[in-house]
Chains A and B, each alone.
Chain A
Amino acid sequence: QKEVEQNSGPLSVPEGAIASLNCTYSDRVSQSFFWYRQYSGKSPELIMSIYSNGDKEDGRFTAQLNKASQYVSLLIRDSQPSDSATYLCAVIDPGGSYIPTFGRGTSLIVHP
């Protein structure tokens, strides 16, 4: 059974700091990786996707992928209180049905 593991948190960081969120996955053939942000009571919102090893930057967000170690991470620079949310990691393998496996999410709290 495919598994995507995330530390549930909460991860608490001060405003302006770098928040580091981690995700590990069990299926070595996984090819597509996503980070979603979910505010309390709201639906998940896609914030980053990454498909190849290395770093991908988009504004204050950087996704990092290491397929050999089977982990993907999300860095949030200059964290703001508005970044406080649950961050979901999702992984898709190339099996054909394109069904993502989601982690349970990490709760991030950015305090002023």
Chain B
Amino acid sequence: SQTIHQWPATLVQPVGSPLSLECTVEGTSNPNLYWYRQAAGRGLQLLFYSVGIGQISSEVPQNLSASRPQDRQFILSSKKLLLSDSGFYLCAWTPTGREQYFGPGTRLTVT
């Protein structure tokens, strides 16, 4: 069966510090992968998606970037965090291009 992992689970970072969040999927190959952010009291905001290694599409221009160095690995990064980057970061994958399955998420607080 397929499993999606995210780490870290929680993170507290000062403004201006870098960020690296990792997502990996087990038990499948060449999945479509997605990064979402859910701010407090708000809906899911799609940040990036990837249909293959090295293929990244950005939905929202901001100070975040994403990379997919391996088939089942998706990384979200920032060089300098802003207060507004606080939120619940979710990685998701889809086996069919339709239904999505979410990882456990990373709760980021920027102080």
Interface size class, chain A: 20 to 34
Please tell me if the beta carbons of B98 and A88 are within 8 angstroms of each other in the complex: no
In angstroms, Cα B60 to Cα A2, docked, is 15
Chain A neighbourhood of B59, CB < 8 A:
99
**Does A43 count as interface, using CB distance less than 8 angstroms?**
yes
Please tell me if the beta carbons of B99 and A46 are within 8 angstroms of each other in the complex: yes
In angstroms, Cα B101 to Cα A93, docked, is 18
Closest B residue to A104 using CB positions: B43
**Does B87 count as interface, using CB distance less than 8 angstroms?**
no
In angstroms, Cα B57 to Cα A45, docked, is 24
Please tell me if the beta carbons of A98 and B32 are within 8 angstroms of each other in the complex: yes
Stretch at the interface among B14-22, B69-77, B102-110: B102-110
In angstroms, Cα B100 to Cα A76, docked, is 21
In angstroms, Cα B104 to Cα A21, docked, is 25
In angstroms, Cα B90 to Cα A99, docked, is 15
**Does B46 count as interface, using CB distance less than 8 angstroms?**
yes
User: Are A98 and B97 also in contact (CB < 8 A) when A88-B44, A104-B42 are?
Assistant: yes
Closest A residue to B94 using CB positions: A98
**Does B49 count as interface, using CB distance less than 8 angstroms?**
yes
Closest A residue to B34 using CB positions: A99
User: Are A43 and B102 also in contact (CB < 8 A) when A98-B97, A102-B43 are?
Assistant: yes
Q: B66 CB to closest chain A CB, in angstroms?
A: 15
CB neighbors of A among B7-33 (8 A): 32
In angstroms, Cα B104 to Cα A47, docked, is 16
Binding site for B on A (CB under 8 A): 32, 34, 41-46, 49, 88, 90, 92, 97-100, 102-105
**20 further interface pairs, Cβ-Cβ under 8 Å (given A43-B103, A103-B43):** A34-B98, A34-B99, A41-B107, A42-B104, A42-B105, A43-B88, A43-B102, A43-B105, A45-B102, A46-B100, A49-B98, A49-B99, A90-B100, A97-B57, A98-B32, A99-B59, A100-B100, A102-B43, A102-B44, A104-B43
Can you give 6 A-B contacts (C-beta < 8 A)? A42-B104, A49-B99, A88-B44, A98-B94, A99-B46, A104-B43
